[in-house]
Structure 1
Amino acid sequence: MRPPRSSGTKLRKSKPASREPSPDLIRMKPLALLTNDDGINAAFLHALVAACMAEGFDVVVAAPSGERSWIGRAFSRHREVTLADYPNLGRQAWSIDGTPSDCVNIALGHLMPVKPDVVLSGINIGFNATMPLCLSSGTLAGATEGTSWGLPAVACSLDLEKSLFEQVHRNSAVCPPALRPHLEAACRHAARFAKGRVGLPSHDLHVHSLNYPASVTDDTAMERSTPALVRHGSLFKRSAQGFSFAWNDGENLTTDKQSDLAVLERGLISHTVFDFGATAPL
């Protein structure tokens, strides 16, 4: 149900929330801001928090209160955005009733007394490969908001077999035991990759997108890739009162062996760099 519109967006707390992480956050360790689009209860996010802490990060989380997938770089312009403390996740966590872009913007602009060393978004339930999915991804949008503040930004996603995807999607707070080793391997790699971005010169509007194959292990290699061009046609079907969303795999128009889909199909980690500051002549 869509919230009532107002004349502008206001930031309002649904209950008292701490405004600042504890003072010992300040540069004792590298600081990572984490978000996602599957919601703050998602087991994939919690696993990534644990991996980042094991890698030596202090972790602050600002994530949507519920799933905000397929929402792209949307902001909650016409309604209030509420937030609340979320216990026992990283050094400080907030559950925010907004989009991934809302979460990162509010955290950087209002909640964090110091800026993080890196913004990390994910791990997404399912891959964010191919251009159509990348353009609609809330996970990539969360990272993009980070790079718009001049910060290193990484988005990460884990491909899943259909049966596992459906199982996790039904209850994102639980990771199936068979998936746990692959999820933790992906999280360790993402945390190490993010650690490698700390202290490097920040390039304008660069987002690193990592897609992990379903069978990823600590030994899985990574290759640079570009987004595959897939044509889906209509993503809706007629329903009783109009139209409802209906996913289809579409037609892959890319033959490049270094497309993100091709790299994933070879069982490797795809690494795509989006340079949103680049322009090209017509």
Structure 2
Amino acid sequence: MAEKPKILLTNDDGLYSAGLRASYDALKDIGEVFVVAPAVQRSGVGRSISIMEPIRVSKVSANGMVSFAVDGTPTDAVIIGIHEIIGELPDLVVSGINLGENISTEAVTTSGTVGAALEAATQGSAAIAISLEVPDIDKFEFVFKPYNFSLAKTVLRKLAKNILSKGMPEGVDVLNVNVPSKPSGGVEITKLARRLYITRIEERLDPRGRKYYWIDGVEIDDAEEGTDLHALRNGKVSITPLTLDSTARIDFDKLRRWLDE
């Protein structure tokens, strides 16, 4: 009997996220799933890695899953999952289902969900980052809530099966998937929107009269057609192919002339 493909499952919302359990349910019968995720909420840490402090790992039962709780970042979880828990490169790494969409160029560099998938691709594995659009008020309430993950699970399962049977599409390192909260039907292959938020800083005073700041953002209204933001706002599932090579696609001779001027 053929050995089941090995799937590493992680996230940045922590072990007790409803989205992690939803991913597990979608994948558990198509592969051997290893759940290795941050012990607590680690959203917004991007692809940061713990190199100045030790990382502790505990085997626990969380949301009905045997899991490995990593006292570190999503990237730490991927590295430890591959090299220590599984002990070899998995056939697929899935990061998510994240609570809150991860779209635009901003998300690629700040999202722990996408960061984990990028690390998996760097290690040599096929990788999916998948996120579910949720109301703004819920994005930072990291508790177990009964969101409707049915479409996200269906999309994840189909993509996972495709990758496990055919491999990743040529030239693609990560599939960044975003699922709308109110789907209108259909899937779009998209590019990254340039920005999602206009940065806003809120200044406050603590009880002792000292200043502190909250970094916030106002969503941009304009969504260019063909982008992940446009697709999601129109109720479409967005699938954006990402590559690890961030080199600008320009004529190098033009850049040399620019330098010499």
Which TM-score tier does this pair reach, normalised by the shorter chain? 0.7 to 0.9
Whether 2:178 is the aligned partner of 1:211: answer yes
- For structure 1, the residue ranges without an aligned partner over 5 or more in a row are 1-23
Q: Name 2:58's counterpart in structure 1.
A: 84
Q: Give the CA deviation at 1:248.
A: 1.7
Task: Report what 2:202 is aligned to.
Answer: 237
1:86–1:95 CA contact under 8 A, matched in 2: yes
**Residues 109/224 of structure 1: CA separation in 2 closer, same or farther (3 Å cut):** same
- CA 187–206 in structure 1, closer or farther in 2 if over 3 Å, else same: same
Give, in whole Å, the separation in 2 of the partners of 1:61 and 1:191.
16
1:96 aligns with 2:66: no
The structure 1 residue matched to 2:13, chosen from 31, 38, 58, is 38
Which one of 86, 96, 103 corresponds to residue 122 of structure 1? 96
Structure 2 portions without partners, runs of 5+: 256-261
- Which amino acid in structure 2 is aligned with residue 193 of structure 1? L
2: CA distance between counterparts of 1:43 and 1:144? Answer: 22
* 2:227 is aligned with 1:259: yes
Residues 1-282 of structure 1 aligned to structure 2 (within 5 Å): 28-54=3-29, 56-87=30-61, 92-163=66-137, 165=138, 169-172=140-143, 174-176=144-146, 179-180=147-148, 183-201=149-167, 206-216=173-183, 220-230=185-195, 232-240=197-205, 241-251=210-220, 255=224, 257-277=225-245, 279=247, 280-281=249-250, 282=255
CA contact 2:223–2:229 (8 Å) conserved in 1: no
SS for the counterpart of 2:69 is strand
SS for the counterpart of 2:67 is strand
Task: Please tell me the residue identity of whatever aligns with 1:212.
Answer: V
Instruction: Give yes or no for contact 2:41–2:142 (8 Å, CA) kept in 1.
Output: no
Where does residue 258 of structure 2 map in the other structure?
none
* Cα shift at 1:31: 1.5
Aligned to 1:5: none
- Paired residues, what number? 245
Letter in 2 for 1:170: E
**Pairwise CA distance, 1:211:** 0.3
CA displacement at 1:118 relative to structure 2: 0.4
CA drift of 1:149 comes to 1.3
CA RMSD of aligned residues (A): 2.4
TM-aligned CA distance change 1:263 to 1:152, over 3 Å: same
Distance 1:141 1:231, change over 3 A: closer
What is the letter of the counterpart of residue 145 of structure 1? E
Shift of 1:244: 2.7
Match of 1:3 in 2: none
Distance of aligned partners of 1:72 and 1:83 in 2 relative to their CA distance in 1, 3 Å threshold: same
3-state SS in 1 of match to 2:27: helix
Could you tell me how far apart the structure 1 residues matched to 2:54 and 2:167 are?
36
Shift of 1:185: 2.2
